[in-house]
Structure 1
Amino acid sequence: MLRTVLLSSIATCALAWAPAAHAQDAGQAPVVEEPEAQAEEGGLIVVTGSRIARQDFQSPSPIVTIGTDTLTSTPSVNIESTLNQLPQFAQGQSQSAIGAVANGGRATLNLRGLGETRNLILLDGRRLPLSSAFGVVDINNIAPGILESVETISGGASAVYGSDAISGVVNFRTRRDFEGIQLDARYGQSFQGDAGTFDISGTGGIRSADGRGSAMLSLSYSRRNVLWGHERSDFFGLGVLSSFISTGTYVPSATNLPQQAVVNSVFAGYGVAAGTVPNSRSLGFNDDGTLFSQVGAVNYKGPTTNFYSTFGGTVRQPVAMQEYIVQPMERYNVFGKVEYELNDGLTAYGQILHTNTRVTGQVGWSPTVFVIPTMPVTNPFIPAALATVLASRPSPTADFTLNSRFTGFEDRKFHADVNTTQFIVGLRGDIAPGWSFDIYGLHDSVDMVETQDKALLLSRMRTLLYAADGGASICAGGFNPFGIRNQESVSRACRDYIEARTHDYTRTTQDIIEGNITGKLFPLPGGDVRFSLTGTYRENSFEYDPDPSRENNDIIGTLGSVPAAGSLNVKEIAGELLVPLLRDMPFAESLEFNLGYRYSDYNVTGSFSTYRIEGSWRPITPLLIRGGYERAIRAPNIGELYSSAQTAQAQIGSPPGAGDPCDVRSSARSGANATQMRALCIATGVPSAIVDTYQYTTVAIGTVSSGSTALKPETADTITFGAVLRSPFNSPWTSGFSLSVDYYDIRISDVISQVSGVTTMNKCYNLDGSNPTYAASNLYCQLIRRDGTGGINTVSTPYLNLGGLRTSGIDIQADWKVNLADAGIMPGTLNVNLVVNFLNSYEVQILPGAAFVDYSGTIDGTQAATTPPVGLPLPKSKIFTSVGYSVGPVQAGLRWRHLPAMSDVTAVTRPASPAAGVPAYDIFDLSLGVQVTDKVRLSGGISNLFDVAPLQIAGTPGLTQPGTYDIIGRSFFVSLSSRF
């Protein structure tokens, strides 16, 4: 009802005034600095992290502000690429929506490395749409052209904004009082002529003739071209070495092995000595009908280049060469807002945001299959040599297993079409002198359709394989999976028979009604005590409907999923007090405190309180000392509460340093405990007949996750303490200097997460020392399921309230601005900015009562080493430095990003056999801007100036962190901005 009333009011107001356009000069935004004063009515300012308007802009919480110049000074068309370079952020590793395969092309933010579900993303202080059941915000929905700045509070803010603000808040501030028309265009690409990006936007703002109404509308289009792994073959040439190969391989069953003498006889015909190929080894198919041993590449006659490899003596296919390393994307954004002053004390407003995004992702390029059984011995295409081997088994007529990579079919693409819409309508105004209110209603929805164009249906492939004629009577030629030539010669008719177009549907919605009252209570020596009182009702819902083929596990190479749905709501009331105790006193130019409290009542998890106390003391004009404490919460989201059993894949790497610990090539199978490890492998499902030759021939495992309504909220305690110093000297060299130093300590308990598959295996098989008796009854061993061949079928990873997270560190920011002309040097102005984070600790407690383990100074390439720091780099320090020089209409800048050397995460998870770490990494970016006329600005720049290659993680070829290290190489951009 309220939403209907507000919408009607806004619609009436929008038609009531006659617009008149006025030009306005564009201001230059800061690169990185404390927020500049942004006055609202009455000369008061609203600073991110508080709902109380105040006279100054100095926040008691550390805030970093980024201007639009910085956001658009890279070739990327996504904002997160710029923000993730700042020391406060870590690479986003979002949980995908339930069932989403290509992750919907989301761009996420991750403050302090605590996960993107633990920081809150706002637009003008209001929540953005949630792109998944796990509460993740996709910042692709924000077009850079509408932004004035981005403010980041890296510390708890749940008492002000509610759940999810454990690690901090990122508030995107849109332009205000914009008049005129501005057109912006930007193009970028690599120096190799690929990885192109394009962005164009138009923004218009008008104000009514009487000055009571205003409106702004922005339209934008962005495109990002695909970048293939083979276009960076110097790095990704051996990336993701899969044992699923195009030739196909016969995988012997441990309970139905062929006779060793027969295997010896077959390979003797190829001139191979007896016993070279064990009877338990996977056998591949050459195009001439002969067999080869995949391990050892014995008698292999296939290609070894152009997407094929015999790395480590094993025939494999480097999948990264065949995949997207940059996903193609197309995005359309619409943003509009309107305000109308109904009378002197009442303003109606409305806002709309709409985004259509199409992203294409991949998983493993060509589909693979590993299904038991997969083929009958009656198939007419079985090579004669294989038929001889099969006939020697104890059960010679039993079906057998075939592994294959189906390169004869279309590559496995997933098109995600996402439509996001948000409407806001509201009223704000004055109640009495010094008292004001703001009430609004918000509704948003995110609809995603994920389409697989050429899904391969297992049921239809099996129909062909089990047909007496190999399927020739169903489609031309039938389906022959033996050998590359046959694999890649499948007829169009058979491809059309097997392939299908599938669709998965996801919808999330959010409804919010919120009212806020602010005002003055009574005076103190330092000023008026001000307060804010906020009431909120929020409801989120989620629905997921997979394609019937996926629900029935009928899509080859795509994990199955089942429908899921859920909703939750919360009613909240919150209050803040700004208490200015002293002002203009000796050694107390100002002393004030900010108090906050919030009570939240969730329909699923119950009621909880959060609170905070912050203070700032300015003993002398140049020095501000600030600090605070906050108790914050994060309530479980819909996905954590309601997701039914969902399957996914987790990368585990390859032996000897990674992979299945039971693999005979693994370092875990050697050493003093080799006998105990062997026994544990047998006890957990590796058949004793093959345990001494067992190899796990892929780099991933299947995981099964599920939600629980028994979850309780996470709780966090955040402490910040620091100081801001501005130069007290008036010389040209020192007057423009400022320095801030802030310490933070965040401690989270009852962490909602999953014990990852890799962590489960490390603990079961004592790689981290947690199962010293090598007992199969170990809790983690019970979560592992193996199939009849010993291979890992699934690892259970349910959502639980686990242990804890603790992180602490120091942020340092220095700014120095010098007017070189005043200093008698030369014309122009020099700006130097330095932002540094020193990470003191990042400690993880897997289970309650367990010891905390410190992961600081490590990097994880498997993206599944432990939880929750999944796939994170956690360097001991990060440095972001920029130097700018401007003279007249010309501005030039040089930016330096530095990451120190890091140990591999296995130095913590399995210290007895750690993988190789990474060296230090330095990137330089160059930019140049020219104000051609009062209305036209031309800019350009070069990223990764010295073309530094990405770093190889864990000593594994092709394994890196794309969000941390530059995988594109040297690239450039040019942009044009025109204001009328």
Structure 2
Amino acid sequence: MRRFDRLSTFSLVASLLSSAAYAQEDPAAAPDPAPQIEEEAGEQLFVTGSRIARQDYVSTSPLVTLGQETLESTPSVGVESVLNQLPQFVQGQNQSAIGAVAGGGRATLNLRGLGETRNLVLLNGRRLPLSNAFAVVDVNIIPPNIIENVETITGGASAVYGSDAISGVVNFRTRRAFEGVELDARIGSSFHGDAGTRSFGVLVGTGTRDDRARAVLSLSYNDREVLWGSDREEFFALGVLSSFIAQGTYVPSATNLPDQSVVNAVFAQYGIAPGAVPNSRSLGFNDNGTLFSQIGASNYRGPTTGLFSTFGGIVRQPVTMQEYIVQPLHRLNLYGSAEYDLTDSITAYVQALHTDYQVTGQVGWTPTLFVAPITIPVTNPFIPADLRTILASRPDPTAPFTLNQRFVGFEDRKFISDVNVTQYVFGIRGELGVSDWTWDIYGLHDSMDLVETQDAALLLSRLQPLLNAPDGGASLCAGGYNPFGLAASTSVSPACRDYVETETHDFTETSQDVLEANLTGGLFALPGGDVRFAVTGTYRRNRYEYDPDPIRENGDLIGTLASVPTQGRINVKELGVELLLPILRDMPFAHTLEVNLGYRISDYNITGTVNTYRAEGLWRPIRALLIRGGYERATRAPNIGELFSTSQTGQVQFGSPPSGGDPCDVRSAARTGANAGQVRTLCLATGVPAPIIDLFQYTTVAIASATSGSTALEPETADTITAGLVLSAPTGNPWLSGLSLSADFYDIRIRDVISQVSAVTTLNKCYNLDGTNPSYDPDNAFCQLISRDATGGISVVSTPYLNLGGLRTRGVDIQADWRLNLEETIGVPGRLHLNAVVNFLDSYRVQILPGAAFVEYAGTIDGTQAATTPPVGLPLPKSKIFANISYGIGPGTIGLRWRHLPSMRDVTSVTRPANPAPGVPSYDIFDLNAAWEVNEQFGFNLGVTNLFDADPPVVGGTLGQTQPGTYDIIGRSFYAGATIRF
């Protein structure tokens, strides 16, 4: 596979300025939909959700718009952090926070909690570059200073845009007509003096005197500082308690256990009662040569705070304290557009987008995890005397023993993602010369190159020889490696670091090619106006290639999962038709009555032909009331990752007993409940060794899962129903003329859902924690997906992509907007603006397998986001509120924003109702913002987010665990920005 040639920013600027054409038709140039019932005459308009241009617009589908002011009122440098506050969104893959090391630093969007692959993200109505094999768009690539607003259609839109638009469309609209120069700068920071952000941008717009040529160029830079878990120790001191500790532990083999009387004798020297430390228990190493029992912390003489913990009587290391909870980001965005009128009726255009950014993830020091067991021979010279005594009592005293350790003496693990994204659009549009028909033909090419570097990976092939060497490895590097105890294991010589550590590079490429032609115009007149149509023909091709470092591919990295090369290509040919039928206008009981129809046929080279269609309508019986609704049949074809992925491994957190962890652990609710005997028998049958079945404890909080794709997958099918009302007050009343209200019901039902049965769900179902294996049958389909090693530990859970059951969600969105001129109403200078967007979630039901019952998840939250499949969008609050109030006088405005989440049950109340984890309380955040336009050339804004410094709630009943993105982990922060125009 080729290594990537970076595109020079300067060469891209030159190519933009030398182009004689531009691609900004902006098929999303709709007026602000708040209030949504206003009509506009004059210029023809396009709106997200339709390709038909018209001179007035009212939305037949629910539409939410975020303006530039809202996007700017945050210290974050990521637009996704603002969108995720809207009730229609659920936290997507925000790689700015906690443990995000395998996502390439992506920031993604998730509508309705139906998953990032089921909503379509557009820029000016056109598809954005893909960031991975699963057709997920990374919104990091959109330059913040070009965004005018963001329109979100929250109903299906496959009939207009094709696959991936099941839950809706998010369309970023750029600033169109702009002349002059605009400079902007923003800084932000927490009140702790950390988590700083910086943003700088320049926007230039110009045109020729005769206005035949126009161009816009934008350059912006964004920077986000790192935040460590230890910087918020008051919350994360017990975050993700790992059993892999710096002191190291001896892990007894179930088939070669030491003599219990010898263990008793050794611990009696420390004053520990006989039998208090079972012979199957992992033993750790104190710096004075004595041993301690990891479970029970018997004779533990090490630190208990900071990076160490004895919470729950177990010696562990809180991983969140060691890692980045906000990842550092450095991003350069370049956007350019130009257009040239070839004739009075034909315009050529070009648009280019380029982004370079780097994100670094870090999850603490490397543990002995996800590789073949690291063993130590009894000839190792560093073995403590008391451990030698215990080892000698085993049935096979000369056998090597297993070491578990977190290698604090080496460098911590950093995962550096360097992303390079480029997209070009070239097109030509014009008038056909028939009636008012217009045409538009464009070609689009984009590519994404991702280099993921692990900068201090540890090689198993180097560490194991150090441990095997009779001199402890001193002949291989200065001092060798002594893993026994905190002081010894952290005193690694530079020579040994260089010997064991290496740097790896994984390469990912995606590309997309689109060729599209559109024809739109009027056909004939109806009583309500001209029947209008749009015909669209599209060809789209996507390519993906992943080439891991050979070291990773060979499984030679300690603490890091192996992966194999993957590649795939898909293409689709589509034809779509839309009709707008204005049936009546200005008639009794029908101020407006119209219907919008759409149909699309799509031919995929892998999965065949699918059809999508929709019928929507609106009726305004009086000017102040609009009634709208519709039905859509939507589809989602499987993407490259779901089709072609070879076995790709990942890490899944599954908590600790009793409410989480391995059901075979003797501390788990499954082993102590009413059916403990049947669970014990099933654990034996699925790989837990008999000698330790009644002592078995699995203290690791994460397991490995293996994902694989299939070309036998079929497309998903969805039916979406929407129905709503929009009210606006009549003009003439100063109290009511600025008031508008909307309420929209939605019901989305997806069949043949393409997803995985998650590792945690598989465990729950195999061991009958949710009642789906009442006979405790080891041949159960879910049990067959679980593999255990010789010690009984879970080595991997298979999670292949399948057409599973279904997803069903329904609810109501409510929007309210009230603008008051206070001078006209109460005689006080100024203006008052109140705005609120609210979602009420009535139901979110999941069917795991075809024919199975649907299970209700509404009102639940999942700390690991891995406990259920296919709902990848937890939390799913029953309500969500995003409200603003602002007061303005002259050029100044001050506002207060309120974000509310209600209390929620933990997802385990559904997945294992007999022993659920605690839920979370309600959560409220208030943000204060202010802006002042000093004059036409200068303005500034500033604000405070999380005004009252609300703490994030504990999720899953596990201290130090929450949901970043859903809850604020940074705390009270401020931002300040300024704009200069000339």
Q: TM-score, normalised by structure 1?
A: 0.96
Opposite residue 85 of structure 2, the aligned amino acid is: Q
Work out the CA distance in 1 between the residues paired with 2:848 and 2:956: 23
> What residue in structure 2 maps to residue 70 of structure 1?
70
Match of 1:404?
405
Residue 21 of structure 2 contacts residue 350 of structure 2 at CA under 8 Å; is this kept in 1?
no
Q: 2:652 corresponds to which residue?
A: 650
The 5-angstrom pairing of residues 438-837 of structure 1 reads 438-728=440-730, 730-837=732-839
- Residues 17 and 867 from structure 1, CA distance in 2 versus in 1: closer, same or farther, beyond 3 angstroms? closer
Aligned to 1:79: 79
> Does structure 1 retain, via aligned residues, the 8 Å contact 2:267–2:273?
yes
1:44 is matched by which residue type in structure 2? Q
Q: Which residue of 2 aligns with 1:173?
A: 173
Q: Which aligned pairs between 1:308-327 and structure 2 lie closer than 5 A?
A: 308-327=308-327
Match of 2:955 in 1: 953
What displacement does 1:672 show? 1.5
- Say whether the 8 Å CA contact 2:319–2:363 is kept in structure 1: no
Structure 1 residue 870, shift from structure 2 partner: 3.0
Amino acid at match of 1:813: Q
The 1:440–1:540 alpha-carbon spacing in structure 2 relative to 1, beyond 3 Å, is same
Distance 1:131 1:35 in 2: 37
What residue in structure 1 maps to residue 126 of structure 2? Answer: 126
In structure 1, what is the equivalent of residue 92 of structure 2?
92
- CA distance in structure 2 between the aligned counterparts of 1:59 and 1:536, rounded to whole angstroms: 25
Report which stretch shifted further, 367-376 or 898-907: 367-376
Sort the Cα spacing of 1:839 and 1:871 in 2 relative to 1 into closer, same or farther, 3 A: closer
Q: What is the CA deviation profile of residues 181-238 of structure 1, one whole-angstrom value per residue up to 9, with x for unaligned ones? A: 0011000000000000000000000011111110000000000000100100010010
Quick one: distance in 2 between partners of 1:196 and 1:254? 50
Could you say which residue in structure 2 is the equivalent of 1:147?
147
In the TM superposition, residue 94 of structure 1 has moved relative to its aligned partner by: 7.8
User: Does structure 1 retain, via aligned residues, the 8 Å contact 2:93–2:106?
Assistant: no
Q: Which residue of 1 aligns with 2:419?
A: 418
Residue 639 to residue 88, structure 1, CA distance change in 2 (3 Å): same
In structure 2, the CA distance between the partners of 1:34 and 1:270, relative to structure 1 (3 Å rule), is same
Counterpart-to-counterpart distance in 2, 1:64 and 1:730: 27
Corresponding residue number in structure 2 for 1:901: 903
Q: How far did residue 16 of structure 1 move?
A: 9.1
After superposition, give the CA deviation of every residue in 1:750-796 in whole Å (9 maximum; x if it has no partner). 00000000000000111101111111111111111111111001100
Which residue number corresponds to residue 159 of structure 1? 159
1:942–1:971 Cα contact (<8 Å) kept: yes
Cα 1:378/1:951, change in 2 over 3 Å: same
Corresponding position of 2:375 = 374
Map 1:830-845 to 2 at 5 A: 830-845=832-847
Corresponding residue for residue 432 of structure 2: 431
Deviation of residue 44 (structure 1)?
A: 1.5
Structure 1 residues 405-456: Cα deviation after superposition (integer angstroms, max 9, x where no partner): 0001111000000000000000000002310000100000000000111110
**C-alpha distance 702-94 of structure 1, shift in aligned 2 (>3 A):** farther
Distance, in Å, in 2 between the alignment partners of 1:243 and 1:665 is 15
Q: Which residue of 2 aligns with 1:910?
A: 912
Aligned to 2:6: none
* Displacement after TM superposition at 1:729 (Å): 5.0
Distance 1:435 1:843 in 2: 45
TM-score by length of 2: 0.96
Structure 2 residue identity aligned to 1:442:
L
- Does residue 941 of the first structure (1) align with residue 943 of the second (2)? yes
Q: Aligned AA for 2:341?
A: E
- Alignment partner of 2:51: what SS? coil
Name the structure 1 match of 2:971: 969
Which residue type is aligned with residue 405 of structure 1?
A: R
Shift of 1:388: 1.3
What is the SS of the residue equivalent to 1:822? helix
Q: Does the CA-based 8 Å contact 1:352-1:423 persist in structure 2?
A: yes
Deviation readout 1:304-336 (Å, 9 max, x if unpaired): 112101010010111101111100000000000
In structure 1, what is the Cα distance between the partners aligned to 2:108 and 2:37? 23
Query: C-alpha deviations, 1:492-541, integer Å up to 9, x for none?
Result: 00000000011000000000000000011111111111100000000000
Give deviations 1:476-503, integer Å, cap 9, x for gaps: 0001111110111010000000000110
Q: Distance in 2 between matches of 1:205 and 1:799?
A: 48
Contact 1:34–1:64 at 8 Å: present in 2 too? no
Query: For residue 794 of structure 2, what is the amino acid of its counterpart?
Result: I
Instruction: Give the direction of change, closer, same or farther, for the CA distance of 1:480–1:74 in structure 2 (3 Å limit).
Output: same
For 1:692, the aligned partner's letter is D
Q: How far did 1:368 drift?
A: 3.5
Checking the alignment, whether the CA contact within 8 Å between 1:35 and 1:151 is kept in structure 2 is: no
How far residue 59 of structure 1 moved from its aligned partner, in angstroms, is 1.0
DSSP 3-state at the match of 1:489: coil
Contact 2:33 2:64 in 1 (8 A): no
Give 2:796's aligned amino acid.
T
Q: In 2, distance between residues paired with 1:718 and 1:324?
A: 40
User: Mind listing any 5+ residue stretches in structure 2 that lack a counterpart?
Assistant: 1-12, 23-28
**CA–CA separation in structure 2 for the residues paired with 1:962 and 1:148:** 27
1:199-218 matches, cutoff 5 A: 199-218=199-218
What SS does the aligned partner of 1:234 have? helix
Q: Secondary structure of 2:398's match?
A: coil
The CA deviation at 1:465 is 1.0
Instruction: Give how far 1:268 is off.
Output: 1.4
Q: Which runs of 4+ in 1 moved over 6 A?
A: 10-14, 16-19, 29-32, 35-39
Please provide the CA RMSD for this pair: 2.0
Contact 2:365 2:406 in 1 (8 A): no
Cα distance in 2 for residues equivalent to 1:181 and 1:846: 55
Q: Is the 8 A contact 1:228 1:323 kept in 2?
A: yes
Query: Is the partner of 2:116 in helix, strand or coil?
Result: coil
Matched residue count: 960
CA contact (8 A) 1:156 1:166 kept: yes
Asked if the contact 2:459/2:558 (under 8 Å) is kept, the reply is yes
Alignment map for 1:843-858 (pairs within 5 Å)? 843-858=845-860
The DSSP-based 3-state class of the residue aligned with 1:110 is coil
| Structural mapping, 1:172-321, within 5 Å | 172-321=172-321
Query: Match of 1:261, SS?
Result: helix
In structure 2, how many angstroms separate the alpha carbons of the residues matched to 1:779 and 1:106?
34
Shift of 1:30: 6.8
Deviation at 1:101, TM superposition (A): 4.1
Q: What amino acid maps onto 1:382 in structure 2?
A: I
The 3-state SS of whatever aligns with 2:692 is coil
Contact 1:568/1:604 (CA < 8 Å) preserved in 2? yes
Distance (Å, rounded) in 2 between the aligned partners of 1:666 and 1:518: 63
Are the aligned partners of 1:35 and 1:63 in contact in 2 as well (CA < 8 Å)?
Answer: no
Aligned sequence identity (%) = 68
Please state whether the residue corresponding to 1:463 is helix, strand or coil.
Answer: helix
Relative to structure 1, the CA distance from residue 115 to residue 758 in structure 2 (aligned partners, 3 Å threshold; closer, same or farther) is same
Provide closer, same or farther for how the CA distance between residues 94 and 688 of structure 1 changes in structure 2, counting only shifts above 3 A: farther
Alpha-carbon distance in 2 for matches of 1:501, 1:222: 27
- Judge conservation of contact 2:93–2:107 (CA < 8 Å) in 1: no
Give the distance between the partners of 1:404 and 1:18, measured in 2 at CA: 60
- Decide whether aligned partners of structure 1 residues 784 and 848 sit closer, same or farther in structure 2, where only a CA change above 3 A counts: same
The one-character-per-residue Cα deviations of 1:708-737 (angstroms, maximum 9, x if unpaired) are 000010000000000101002522111110
Secondary structure of the structure 1 residue equivalent to 2:670: helix
Partner amino acid for 2:157?
A
CA contact (8 A) 2:704 2:795 kept: yes
- Identify if the C-alpha distance between structure 1 residues 364 and 781 changes in structure 2 by more than 3 Å, giving closer, same or farther: farther
Offset, 1:14 = 6.6
Contact residue 215 and residue 337 of structure 1 kept, 8 A: yes
Q: Which amino acid letter does the alignment assign opposite residue 567 of structure 2?
A: A
Letter in 2 for 1:407: V
- Given that 2:515 and 2:539 are in contact with CA atoms closer than 8 Å, whether structure 1 keeps it comes out as yes
